[in-house]
């Protein structure tokens, strides 16, 4: 079962450094920085094989993200 996992910035930075500038992790980190430069309170999350950026999800949003990740795993 998939779950929504908050990725600390430090962990995301380490993954981006390890996997290179063109990695998904590096792109997520760059997106976070752009959004935060606009004074938005956003975070990175891992849901199954997906990375999501945005504000802290409410229960309904979290359930939707999990459902999408699980549906993709079934395919």
pLDDT, tens digit, 9 for 90 and up, residues 8-45: 999 999 999 999 999 999 999 999 999 999 999 999 99
- What is the value of pTM for the model shown? 0.85
**How confident is the model at residue 52, as a pLDDT?**
93
In total, how many domains does the chain have?
1
Cα-atom radius of gyration of the chain, to the nearest Å?
Answer: 13
Q: Residue 35's closest CA among 55, 49, 21?
A: 55
User: What span, in angstroms and rounded, lies between the C-alpha atoms of 70 and 49?
Assistant: 10
**How confident is the model at residue 1, as a pLDDT?**
79
Q: Residue 3's closest CA among 39, 38, 52?
A: 52
- Which residue range(s) make up the domain with 62? 4-74
* H or E element that contains 61: helix 59-74
């Amino acid at each position: 079962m998939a779950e929504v996992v908050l990725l600390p910035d430090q962990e995301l930075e380490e993954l981006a450094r390890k996997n290179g500038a063109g990695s998904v992790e590096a792109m997520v980190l760059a997106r976070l920085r752009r959004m935060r430069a606009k004074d938005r309170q956003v975070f990175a999350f891992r849901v199954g094989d997906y990375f999501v950026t945005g504000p802290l999800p409410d229960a309904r949003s979290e359930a939707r993200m999990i459902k999408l990740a699980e549906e993709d795993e079934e395919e």
